[in-house]
Amino acid sequence: MLPNNPYMIDSEPFYLNTGDEIPMFEAAAAARLPVMLKGPTGCGKTRFVEYMAYRLKRPLITVACHEDLFASDLIGRYLLKNDETVWVDGPLTRAVRMGAICYLDEVVEARKDTTVVIHPLTDNRRVLSIDKKGEVLCAHPDFLMVISYNPGYQSVLKDLKQSTRQRFVALTFNYPEPKEESRIVATEGGIDADTASRLVTLAGKIRNIREHGLTEGASTRLLIYAANLVGQGVTFKAACTAALLQPLTDDDRIQETLSDLIDDLL
């Protein structure tokens, strides 16, 4: 491992264990099995990967996937530098070489022909083909592929192919139980336990009305944002409006319903 590796996480991220996800991830890493994290937006998947990278003392290279992500964005490309054409590794190639955890966040957002390049890395071959260099790169023993996605956004156009899904062991995430979520919000948001509990209660009510038009419920991430605002002196109602109500919907009717829920907790 390189000294002063910029991909190492130096300080322990706060993560509250909610099940058997930690030992399961450790077992998968020890067996060199790729891992798939399933769960709603903002429920802690990314924080979990950061925590596990710290716990396992491995570098972490994260890629935020999107529809314009090409295979060359992951693998690398030739670039002109000082009048010379030089090869520059992409994030996936860097992870394969150094033995890092490569985390593809919201992998279903990537182009289907792009995600195919990870297939040889997720079976017993553990190799990456760099066609432009005519090179087949064997993965470092510590290399680990991790992907995440939100099953709530599944559609015919945005879903993982079975040929990809069946290459991973899967860990399912959800929002924590109220007691644990309150502790997370209080700790991460730097607010008192009572205010954190009120935010979590509000989130529970919002999540229960998803069937009335909300695409997503209030995430733990948004609760922490609201807590951060409260910690800066913003009133509870204003913080909830800015961090929860406005980001969740533009529908006037639903906004009115959410506003009523906020008022009930004042």
Which class is domain 21-172? alpha beta
pLDDT in tens, 228-246: 999 999 999 999 999 999 9
32-59: average pLDDT = 95
Q: Give the three-state DSSP class for 171.
A: strand
Q: Is the pLDDT of residue 157 over 80?
A: no
Supply the pLDDT for residue 156.
Answer: 43
207-218: average pLDDT = 75
106, 150 Cβ separation under 8 angstroms:
yes
Q: Is the pLDDT of residue 9 over 90?
A: yes
Q: Is the pLDDT of residue 58 over 80?
A: yes
pLDDT in tens, 123-146: 999 999 999 999 999 999 999 999
210, 75 Cβ separation under 8 angstroms:
no
d(CA 64, CA 85): 27
Supply the pLDDT for residue 18.
Answer: 85
95, 102 Cβ separation under 8 angstroms:
yes
Q: Where are the domains of the chain?
A: 21-172, 178-264
pTM of the full predicted structure? 0.89
